Structure 1
Amino acid sequence: MIGKGSEWHRWEPHIHAPGTVLNNQFGSNNPWEEYLTTIEKLTPSIKVLAVTDYYLTDTYEEVLKYRNTGRIPDVQLIFPNIELRLDVAAKTGFVNIHLLVSPEDADHLTQLQRILGRLQFHAYDDRFDCTKNDLIALGKRSDPNITDDFAALKQGATQFKVNFDQLRKVIQESEWAKNNILVAVAGGSGDGTSGLRQASDTTVRQEIEKFSHIIFSSSPSQREFWLGQKSVTVDELKDRYHGCKPCLHGSDSHDLKSIGQPTDSRYSWVKGALEFDSLRQACIDPENRAFVGSEPPKSAMPSQVISRIKINDAGWANTPEIPLNPGLVAIIGARGSGKTALADMAAAGCDAISNQAWQSSEYTSPSFLARARQVIGNESVTLNWGGGVETTRMLNGSDANNHFSFPRARYLSQQFVEELCSSNGVSDGLIEEIERVILEAHPVDERDGAISFSEFRDLKTSRFQQARKRENESISDISERISIELEKEALVDSLAAQVDQKKSLINNYNSDLKKLVVKGTETQAKRHAELGVTAQDIRSKIQAFNNQKRTFIAMQDEVISTRATKAPELLRQAQERHRLSGLSQQQWEEFLLTYKGDVDSSLTGYITWADQQISQLNGKAPERTDPNSPLIAENADLSQLSLSIIVAEMTRLEALLSADKLIRDQYTALSNRINQENIALKALEDKLSDARGASGRKKLLQTERDETYSRIFEAIISEQSVLSQLYQPLMGRLSKSSGTLGKLSFSVQRVVDVESWGDFAEKNLLDLRKAGTFNGRGSLTALAKESLMPMWENGTSDEIKSAMSTFISKHMGELLEHAPYSKLQQVEYKAWLKSFAHWLFSTDHISIRYEILYDNVDIRKLSPGTRGIVLLLLYLALDDADDRPLIIDQPEENLDPKSVNDELVPLFIEAKSKRQVIMVTHNANLVINTDADQIIIAEAGPHQTGGLPPISYKAGGLENSSIRTSVCEILEGGEKAFRERARRLRVRLQR
């Protein structure tokens, strides 16, 4: 026996046939041919027929006769539906109730007649039993004018009413009836319980519906009600009505036109084999076993369903071909029976076995194919897919995982779970799987083409990471500039003293110079001094122009370097950062940084201009003339003269100051020295002025640095927010879950390593031996934890900026006091100050960490067993995007029985509605309470020396008594699980 198990088939649970006792509109001229032909041509075809008649089985028996001659060959099961009218008034008549009778018992007609015969109707001071003869007698008593027995039968059927309490008692007192009859009641308002007339009938209605196993109704709202999805819960249905009920609908045909044609194509679909037990199973699991609609419920996509497994050239495979159900397939069997073998072979055919598993040790691997590697020759497996594709793979793995293959199934083998969730390594694999599910929880259109979570995360966060990097670089630059300003600020007193010293020195030199002036030459000396001042001004101008010229030349070098190296590199970096832009190389060339104007011509012109200015200021030396004749007129504007002519006039005057050559030389040398010292004084005064402005500039830079520091945290917080949004689709689903799934959460937080921040400064930047607040190891870290860490971890950018400003204002002076160098050690102190500023405003110690938590514990810290549970639940409950077959080996591992029932069972039921699930299991609840669609039972023969034992498989659905017997025998607790599942119903599942 190797069947596909439970599949959706069209049932016709309520159809009359020619000769029906009441309302027979099929015609009198032998309508059977047209009746049967119509059924044979129906689309979708009817596989199960419940022939309905009032009180009798005559038309049912007639249909059986035709069936035995080869008619209606597609109909695989026929059973009687006895329609009874209760003595309970409805809106347009009386409530109709139906007895659906199993044909499994060869003597079922005789037994049914016995049951019906116990139903009695009292009238005319007489008792009439529910038999054909008594119905005829009742008809003739009610209308003495009737002489024809069939007419009397119809008349009697209109009069006979079944007492509900009596019917209930008759059924309950008969073991045969309880085992072979399912009760259905019409749910409509005409002749059903919805038509009960008065509020006082509420209890009667509830009792009738409680007694019934099935509701005849095509109304979606009624189906929702009876499944506990509307105004009452499942628990309330159990309390009031003995549980949920399947809703079915038939054509109720009384004429040839309506045969198998219910209104709006509301066909009845029952999931199961074509046997009466499938209807019993529908009573136990109405939501997943019964449906009314034009088509049965959709499940896995056909192209993603393995429809058949074929084991090729394997002498040990006694069952080389196994058809598979598209829903939940449970593989069971004793230890070593070949359960994992079948799962392994299916996975091999799907290229779903990893290279690590293929290469694992044959002695320690749980994989059947790995253990059997030495005895497997050229055996292969062929998979037929629902979409028509066929794939074949070698069972020794020789053609596995080539460049063109991809896993067509998800295989959670024992080895896979152990590797992914092992405790002797980092569970990066588990994290990656969870992140894959997170990615696929986002609509494809929102993924921006990302094919991995890390790529998706980078796409969403790179903008903020780049901003953080830019701002960090900016802080570094600003801090360096601040350190320069601090250094300048520290030099104010020293420079002021040097200026005073220089002025004093120049004054002394000028005093000395006056002493060298010979009496009578005072006018020449005064003129010489005037010219000296002018010469100094001109030399300052020339020096300024020389500085400009050097700058222009340096700018020329920078332009050349930028064009050749810097700009192309910046373009390459931009292309790498924005590689998804889709721009062509030609379009990217537009982003090459260049200069707005013609800087080459401008700089060349600037250099030429500077040379001209320098040349003009220097001028040409005049020709030698009479020493007594002035070169410059007394009233000339000295500022308009060149340096050359002024220097020449000064030289002429020096020769007139004294006849003594020694004195003349001394005067000239001292004049030059005064000139040099004036130049030095001007430089010192410029430095002093610059140093005195450092305080103001420093404050502006510090404000700018504070703003930049704030922007860094804006980028950090934005990245944190984006990461939180990445998890939001999955978090929304988890928030609605309970049990283990409800314990799964995600955390995105700023992580501050304040110890590393403090330790770096204490080890590398501060002298902790000095007295003060920061004396001794750990004092800085403790203070940072108190005043900075709370804001670093949870504050806004403005709050963090404020906290850092407060920290600096309170402690900067003391921190500087702990510098390892004196301010007089200018070179060392300057380098230290730069490093100190970089450290103070660094954010390297702040990172964003996202954690996957289980019961508020990082998943990487869980036991391997708990990680395995999370992984399994992840695939079952959250992996919506993956519609490939899911193959699982022993999902109940690491779970207690209650968790299996409470968590795995509902998840398997939901998963099988969307994808094919193939599981190897030893757990009865996972087979029975999930209502597995197909049970494959593995059995192995005696072990063969040097080879594999013979392995056989049989398969079918839970509606098959043979399969149920095997489930009970193989799986511990199977019998109890069946009893628990059906205990609320008057439904007996035979072993």
Structure 2
Amino acid sequence: MLTRGSVWRRWEPHIHTPGTVLNDQFGGVGAWESYLSTIESRSPTIEALGVTDYYLTETYEQVRLHKNAGRLPNISLIFPNIELRLSVAAKTGFVNMHLLVSPEDPNHVDEVRLLLTRLQFSAFGDVFDCTREGLIRLGRQVDVKATDNRAALAIGATQFKVDFDQLRKVYETSEWAQANVLIAVAGAEGDGTSGVRQAADATMRQEIEKFAHVIFASSVAQREFWTGQRGVSVEELTRRYNGCKPCLHGSDAHDNATVGQPVQDRFTWIKGAATFDALRQAYIDPAGRAFVGSEPPKAAMPSQVIASVEIEDAPWVTTPSLPLNAGLVAIIGARGSGKTALADMIAAGCDTVPPSVWEDEKGVSPSFLSRAKPLLGESRVKLTRAAGAVVSRYLDGRDANNPFSYPSARYLSQQFVEDLCSAAGASEGLLHEIERVIFEAHPVDGREGALDFEALRGHRTHRFQLARGREVEAIKAISDRIADELEKEALVQSYDAQIKQKENLIAGYNADLTKLVVKGTEQQAQRHAALNTALQSRLAASQAHAAQRRTYIALQDEVQRTKATRAPEILREIQSRYQNSGFSPTQWDEFLLIFKGDVDASLVRYLTWVDSVIAEIEGVSPAPTPAGIPMPQLIADDADLTMQSIAILRAEMGRLEDLISADTVVRDQYAALSKRIASENGALAALRNAHVDAQSANERRKLLQVEREEAYDRLFSAIINEQQALVDLYAPLMARLVMAKGTIRKLSFLVARVVDAKSWADFAEEHLIDCRRAGPFYGRGSLLRRAEAELKPVWQTGTATEVRAAVSAFIHRYWNDLQVHAPFAPTDQEAFRDWSKRFANWVFGTGHISVRYELAYDGIDIRKLSPGTRGIVLLLLYLALDDADDRPLIIDQPEENLDPQSVFVELVSLFINAKSKRQVIMVTHNANLVINTDADQVIVAQAGSHAGGGLPTIAYSSGGLEDAEIRRKVCDILEGGEDAFRERARRLRVRLKR
């Protein structure tokens, strides 16, 4: 048996024939020829015929005779549709109910007639059976003039009404009926249950619909209602109506013009073989097996469907050619029967076998192709697509993965699933696949030119990562400046003491100086002191301008370095970060950093100016006087000493030193002491300047701290912006999860800040604070406890402003305590300064904070799931979320590591949904995955004996679940097969023939 399994076929379940009991408009002579010819010529081709008549089977039997005579060659199934009228009133008549009888039993006509005799109608003080004779007798009671049997039969048929309770009792007490008859009821208003609108009859309507297996209705609204897609859920349908119902529709033809031609081309399509069991399967799976419309439902695209697989030059395959269904193909068989071999060969033809399999020289891979490689010889696999494309590949991989090949399917081999779902693979392979699905959920025009998820994420977050880097550098630079200011603050008291000491020292020197002044020269000494003060002032001015000159020269060097090196390098870095700008070299030149003005000329001018000022301050020493001639006074008594040059001031001081004492020794002492006083006064001035600078350090530090907090605010804003960018990146998939139903709703995505408070605290306890010292941070872990309580929550969910406030409050609260635990005392200035910088970089650091998404299943992070549950997530990914991929999905034993209940609850619905969008080829040992997914095709693998050390022979058979032989093999091979069938067909009155 090698069939494609369950495919959509057109059925005509409700059609009358010439000679129908009521309203026969088919004409006289030649009516049957015209009728049969019309059915044979209808398009789409009718393959199953439900021959309908009121209460009787005679016309059905006539159609069978014509079929046996060679007519209706395209019709494989003909079954009786016995139309009954219930005693329940509808809008324009009475509710019609139909008995759809299986023709599988050779005695089905006799059996159904026997069943009908048990239906009786009471009138005229008599009881009439539902038989031809009973109906004729009733007709003559109604109209005594109806002497013709045909006329009496028609009258009796219009009057005979079946009591619903009686019909239900007859059916439920007949084992044959429950095994061979399906009950259908009209759903329309005129003669169906929709016409039962009286409130008093609501219960009756519900009971009738609950009793029925099939609804005769053609509207989309009815079909959606009865499959749980409109108004009520599947669970509610099960509770109120005994489950979902298939909706069927026929032409209900009473004349030749409407034979097989329902209004608006509302044809009935049943998925399966043209057998009565296909109708039973449609009752079990209404949504997947029955449809009313001009065409059957669309599934996978023909260009993507593998229509057939052929194994060439492989004598070990006794059935080398297999047709494949476009929906769900289940490959079953005993262990070692060739199931995985078939999946591997199909995958090879689709170029989806991983290179590691072909490169496996030792045969350690579980792949059939790897282990059998030495025995494959010239064997090839040829795949033919439904659209006509053909590809052939050698099974030993010699032509696999060539530069022009493209994986035309997705293959989830056992090894692939195990690798992705193992403890190690959960954080890498599985997450990579999730990211791929997220990427493909974005429309092509929304991918910003990215080729994969990583590139798209880089596009979305690059800006904010750059911002983080900039702010980290800014915080580091500001922290260095704050450390400088803290060091200055610590020196204020030291400067106070040094200034006091220096003032005392200068006062002592001045006292010593007065003792060297010869009586009568006091005025000269005072003048000398004034000159010395002026000299120190001018020297300070000269030094300040000399510092300016050094700065200008350094700036010249900086300008040259910026032009030659830094600016071009900055431009190159910008070009590297923004490669997608599309700018030409000329356009990029506009981004080269240049100085606003002509700084080279300006610096030359500044140097010329400062040189002139220094020269003016230094001045020119006067020419020496001849020996024996005293030097004249160089500076007038009323002259402004602060405007004199250094050279003139020194010369004038030398002249006065000669006048103060004639004694050379005393004169030299006076001059030396005056210079010492001048030097100490200069040092005192420097100390006072440093003291003033140190006193204002506190204010500057506070401003810098605010600046650092603002930089930290911007840093955290960049983190939050990166988080939002990721939220936007995952939005398409998140939206799908919110709107999804069933198992997929257990999946959830959360983009969150992940805070490693422990690493943050551990770094400080190892490098910054001494936990052995007494204090609030004594003992390892004390800092972590405070960080987790006071900082971690706001790091995880707070705004930038909230984080800034929390960190500032933390520093303010514990700064003094942390200094107690510092490994260096503040007096050890150099070490403490280095410590304070490292401390600031730590406390304002964000290296312990990352932004990532978390995928959870049933509220549990995927990283914490068992391998089996990760397998469910992986299948959710491919079966429910990977909409962008319409290629065939080949899965080898998806149930591995899953318990049967998980398979039934979690996976069945996924496979049902997936097979409506793409071809799914599945190797399985699980009955639920074959039966409850309503597999469209079952391929049964069977291996024979090995031939002379070669490969064992492998044979395949295939068909649909509506085929009794296939069902038998499913039950025999799969553990739980019988139980699964029983669960699938829960209603005892619907029995699939074994």
Q: Scaled by the length of structure 2, what TM-score is found?
A: 0.90
Alignment of 1:216 with 2:219, yes or no, is no
Describe the superposition over 1:831-861 as per-residue Cα deviations: whole angstroms up to 9, x where unpaired: 3343343334334344456544556655445
The DSSP-based 3-state class of the residue aligned with 2:400 is coil
Matches within 5 A, 1:431-830: 431-441=431-441, 446-518=446-518, 521-623=521-623, 627=630, 629-720=632-723, 722-723=725-726, 745=748, 750-766=753-769, 772-774=775-777, 780-781=783-784, 784=787, 787-789=790-792, 791-792=794-795, 796-830=799-833
| One-letter amino acid of the counterpart of residue 493, structure 1 | Q
The 1-side partners of 2:141 and 2:401 are apart by 83
The 2-side partners of 1:778 and 1:227 are apart by 60
The DSSP-based 3-state class of the residue aligned with 1:200 is helix
Describe the superposition over 1:201-225 as per-residue Cα deviations: whole angstroms up to 9, x where unpaired: 3344334333332111112332233
The 2-side partners of 1:824 and 1:203 are apart by 95
Does the 8 A contact of 2:426 with 2:862 survive in 1? no
1:366 corresponds in structure 2 to: 366
The 2-side partners of 1:751 and 1:239 are apart by 46
The 2-side partners of 1:981 and 1:846 are apart by 51
Out of 879, 884, 887, the residue aligned to residue 881 of structure 1 is 884
The 1-side partners of 2:113 and 2:825 are apart by 116
1:268 corresponds in structure 2 to: 268
The DSSP-based 3-state class of the residue aligned with 1:925 is helix
Q: CA deviation at 1:155?
A: 4.2
Does the 8 A contact of 1:362 with 1:373 survive in 2? no
Unaligned runs of 5+ in 1: none
Does the 8 A contact of 2:234 with 2:244 survive in 1? yes
Q: CA separation of 1:154/1:14 partners in 2, compared to 1, >3 Å: closer, same or farther? A: same
2:7 corresponds in structure 1 to: 7
| One-letter amino acid of the counterpart of residue 812, structure 1 | W
Alignment of 1:841 with 2:844, yes or no, is yes
Q: CA separation of 1:782/1:240 partners in 2, compared to 1, >3 Å: closer, same or farther? A: closer
The DSSP-based 3-state class of the residue aligned with 1:330 is strand
The 1-side partners of 2:111 and 2:426 are apart by 68
The DSSP-based 3-state class of the residue aligned with 1:401 is coil
2:401 corresponds in structure 1 to: 401
The 1-side partners of 2:19 and 2:604 are apart by 116
Does the 8 A contact of 2:178 with 2:988 survive in 1? no
Describe the superposition over 1:540-586 as per-residue Cα deviations: whole angstroms up to 9, x where unpaired: 22222221121121112112222232233333333444444454444
Q: CA separation of 1:123/1:792 partners in 2, compared to 1, >3 Å: closer, same or farther? A: closer
2:981 corresponds in structure 1 to: 978
The DSSP-based 3-state class of the residue aligned with 1:184 is strand
The 1-side partners of 2:901 and 2:92 are apart by 50
| One-letter amino acid of the counterpart of residue 406, structure 1 | Y
Describe the superposition over 1:670-718 as per-residue Cα deviations: whole angstroms up to 9, x where unpaired: 4444433333332222212111211221222223333333444444445
The DSSP-based 3-state class of the residue aligned with 1:80 is strand
Out of 948, 953, 968, the residue aligned to residue 950 of structure 1 is 953
Describe the superposition over 1:172-229 as per-residue Cα deviations: whole angstroms up to 9, x where unpaired: 5655544433222211111112223643333443343333321111123322332344
| One-letter amino acid of the counterpart of residue 958, structure 2 | A
The 1-side partners of 2:145 and 2:448 are apart by 86
1:24 corresponds in structure 2 to: 24
| One-letter amino acid of the counterpart of residue 243, structure 2 | G
2:942 corresponds in structure 1 to: 939
Describe the superposition over 1:782-810 as per-residue Cα deviations: whole angstroms up to 9, x where unpaired: 55555555555555544544444444344
Does the 8 A contact of 1:357 with 1:415 survive in 2? no
Does the 8 A contact of 1:128 with 1:135 survive in 2? yes
Out of 899, 914, 919, the residue aligned to residue 917 of structure 2 is 914
The DSSP-based 3-state class of the residue aligned with 1:191 is coil
| One-letter amino acid of the counterpart of residue 919, structure 2 | Q
| One-letter amino acid of the counterpart of residue 926, structure 2 | N
The 2-side partners of 1:381 and 1:2 are apart by 18
The 1-side partners of 2:304 and 2:375 are apart by 32
The 2-side partners of 1:185 and 1:772 are apart by 86
Does the 8 A contact of 2:926 with 2:975 survive in 1? yes
Q: CA deviation at 1:591?
A: 2.9
Alignment of 1:871 with 2:889, yes or no, is no
Which is worse superposed, 851-860 or 82-91? Answer: 851-860
Report percent identity of matched pairs. 62
Does the 8 A contact of 1:306 with 1:324 survive in 2? yes
Does the 8 A contact of 1:336 with 1:940 survive in 2? yes
1:893 corresponds in structure 2 to: 896
Does the 8 A contact of 2:216 with 2:249 survive in 1? yes
Q: CA deviation at 1:355?
A: 2.3
The DSSP-based 3-state class of the residue aligned with 2:374 is coil
Q: CA deviation at 1:751?
A: 4.8
Matches within 5 A, 1:25-424: 25-28=25-28, 30=30, 35-36=35-36, 38-57=38-57, 59-61=59-61, 63-64=63-64, 73-106=73-106, 108-109=108-109, 111-116=111-116, 119=119, 130=130, 142-143=142-143, 150-151=150-151, 153-168=153-168, 171-172=171-172, 175-196=175-196, 198-360=198-360, 364-423=364-423
Does the 8 A contact of 2:375 with 2:950 survive in 1? yes
Q: CA separation of 1:958/1:856 partners in 2, compared to 1, >3 Å: closer, same or farther? A: closer
The DSSP-based 3-state class of the residue aligned with 1:942 is strand
Alignment of 1:924 with 2:900, yes or no, is no
Q: CA separation of 1:251/1:771 partners in 2, compared to 1, >3 Å: closer, same or farther? A: closer
Which is worse superposed, 516-525 or 593-602? Answer: 516-525
Q: CA deviation at 1:311?
A: 0.8
Which is worse superposed, 174-183 or 594-603? Answer: 174-183
The 2-side partners of 1:781 and 1:15 are apart by 81
| One-letter amino acid of the counterpart of residue 944, structure 1 | A
| One-letter amino acid of the counterpart of residue 95, structure 2 | V
| One-letter amino acid of the counterpart of residue 708, structure 2 | R
Does the 8 A contact of 1:752 with 1:792 survive in 2? yes
Which is worse superposed, 816-825 or 554-563? Answer: 816-825
Matches within 5 A, 1:855-870: 858-870=861-873
The 2-side partners of 1:151 and 1:758 are apart by 100
Which is worse superposed, 131-140 or 101-110? Answer: 131-140
| One-letter amino acid of the counterpart of residue 482, structure 2 | I
Does the 8 A contact of 2:357 with 2:369 survive in 1? no
Q: CA separation of 1:143/1:462 partners in 2, compared to 1, >3 Å: closer, same or farther? A: same
| One-letter amino acid of the counterpart of residue 914, structure 2 | A
Q: CA deviation at 1:13?
A: 1.7
The DSSP-based 3-state class of the residue aligned with 2:692 is helix
1:966 corresponds in structure 2 to: 969
The 1-side partners of 2:311 and 2:91 are apart by 61
Does the 8 A contact of 1:351 with 1:407 survive in 2? yes
The 1-side partners of 2:348 and 2:93 are apart by 63
Q: CA deviation at 1:116?
A: 4.8
| One-letter amino acid of the counterpart of residue 874, structure 2 | L
Q: Scaled by the length of structure 1, what TM-score is found?
A: 0.90
Which is worse superposed, 320-329 or 21-30? Answer: 21-30
Q: CA separation of 1:350/1:682 partners in 2, compared to 1, >3 Å: closer, same or farther? A: same
Which is worse superposed, 365-374 or 511-520? Answer: 511-520
Q: CA deviation at 1:514?
A: 4.3
RMSD: 3.5
Q: CA separation of 1:87/1:421 partners in 2, compared to 1, >3 Å: closer, same or farther? A: closer
Describe the superposition over 1:434-457 as per-residue Cα deviations: whole angstroms up to 9, x where unpaired: 333344455555544444444444
| One-letter amino acid of the counterpart of residue 941, structure 2 | A
Q: CA deviation at 1:316?
A: 1.1
The DSSP-based 3-state class of the residue aligned with 2:617 is helix
